Amino acid sequence: MEIEEVPDSPQNTVEDDALKFHTSTPTEDTNLDDPELSRTEDLFGSSSPLFFKEKGNECYRDNNFTEAIDWYTRALTRLEFSDNDVLRSQLFCNRAACHQALGDWEASISDCTDALCFDESYPKAYLRRSVAFEKTKSYQKSHSDLEKALQLDPSLEPKYSTKKAQLKKLAESEFEYEKEQMIGKLKDLGNNLLGKIGLSLDNFKVQKNPETGSYNIQFQQQ
């Protein structure tokens, strides 16, 4: 049975758009008739991982996110000695959705990362981790994950093109900030070392050659 996604509201703001994944229901990506899954012992039994997964999905639909996490965890435990990496990845991704609904972004990032360890071509895991990275202000990682998801599933491009552009700007700003911070630390280190011989970085002038793009460093006596 496939759980329907919560439809996007036409009144959604940009902030709502950023949260769309944690408000959407984890989908039942697994086809119960899949030959790969048919090899799972006691497939439809009350102790099978698929039974636990469905119980988790039911709890999610009822907004019982903590209980859903417990069911997904029990399903993962049942899969401990299984080679069914596809189902394992889906369970981690569904549990990540619960963590997002509870606002636990770090736990969501961790579960999405585990999901991708077992299925590195899972777009939904990249999408959910992108949201979690954005909420933790890791914009470069968020943008990278969204790009990866759209590469894996180009049909998502129209829906998330605006979000991708927003994240790109945020990622560029984050990069520039980190670069300035690093340059500042290097300057402090350089001045500390040069100060021991009575110099500072102010004694050195860096000039860029517009023709070659190379840099020249000139010493200037203060």
pLDDT of residue 174: 79
Looking at this protein, which amino acid is placed at residue 12?
N
The whole-number pLDDT of residue 30 equals 41
Q: Is the pLDDT of residue 27 over 80?
A: no
The predicted model gives 114-134 an average pLDDT of 97
The CATH-assigned architecture of domain 14-172 is Alpha Horseshoe (1.25)
pLDDT level of residue 111 (50, 70, 90 thresholds): very high
Lowest mean pLDDT, pick from 136-150, 160-174, 190-204? 190-204
pLDDT in the model for residue 34: 41
CA 140 to mean position of chain CA atoms: 10
Residues 30-58 have a mean pLDDT of 63
Tokens of 17: 């758009």
CA distances (Å), 175 to each of 20, 78, 143, 149, in order?
Answer: 25, 42, 12, 21
Q: Compute the distance between CA of residue 75 and CA of residue 151 in angstroms, rounded to an integer.
A: 30
Residues 144, 95, 150: CA angle, nearest 5 degrees: 25
Q: Which sequence spans correspond to the domains of the chain?
A: 14-172
H helices present in the chain, as ranges: 14-18, 20-23, 35-38, 49-61, 65-78, 85-101, 105-118, 123-135, 139-152, 157-194
Q: Under a CB-based contact definition with an 8 Å cutoff, are residues 73 and 95 in contact?
A: yes
More confident position, 38 or 126 = 126
pLDDT at 47: 77
Token output for 222 = 């203060």
- Mean pLDDT over 152-180 rounds to 90
pLDDT tier at 170 (50, 70, 90 boundaries)? Answer: very high
Torsion of CA 74, 77, 79, 81, to 10 degrees: -160
The answer, yes or no, to whether residue 54 has pLDDT greater than 60, is yes
Per the listing, tokens 């004694």 go with 203
Higher pLDDT, 115 or 180: 115
pLDDT at 82: 83
Average confidence (pLDDT) over 67-87: 93
pLDDT at 136: 97
Specify the pTM: 0.66
pLDDT > 90? residue 198: no
Residue 153: what pLDDT? Answer: 97
